[in-house]
Structure 1
């Protein structure tokens, strides 16, 4: 995402326009849900590793 796109997206947040932000994401980044899911899994895995948890303890999304 370019700086210009970030600014454009942040305008929705400033206006409290969640529906507009979602539509904007879906139009420009149709695969954003899979990207978010992948990043979420990475973050959870890193947190679990740093806390010494076993991966089976955390319910990772499929």
Structure 2
């Protein structure tokens, strides 16, 4: 379907982030995407469907939740793709500010202490 990895960050203009910040950004993208897709799908669900789906989520049954989505919302992958594109566009438009903030934070950190020479 899609991968949240270094290639995505390069596509978004964030390939120069430090490794730790890349991981943080990928986690943020995943969590934001998950929330937005969930909200879009919830808008289309009946109360009964919402209760049923939440049951899978509450049990941390990802496989069950995925199967339920495939059965009840066969177009859910389209929702994911659409929300991912929106999120990517938002991030691309802010990429330079994100990189600048990252560089500023790096410059404010105290230098690493070097161990004494033996």
Return the TM-score normalized by structure 1.
Answer: 0.68
Stretches of structure 1 lacking an aligned partner (at least 5 in a row): 54-62
Match of 2:59 among 15, 20, 30: 15
Indicate the residue corresponding to 1:35 in structure 2.
Answer: 79
Indicate whether 1:2 and 2:77 are aligned: no
TM-score by length of 2: 0.39
Q: Which residue of 1 is the match for residue 109 of structure 2? A: none
Q: Deviations over 1:4-46 (max 9, x none)?
A: 2233212101111111101110011111112101111111101
Length, aligned pairs only = 52
List alignment gaps of at least 5 residues for structure 2.
Answer: 1-43, 97-118
RMSD over equivalenced CA pairs, Å: 1.7
Secondary structure at 2:74's aligned position in 1?
coil
Query: Which ranges of 4 or more aligned residues in structure 1 deviate by more than 4 Å?
Result: none
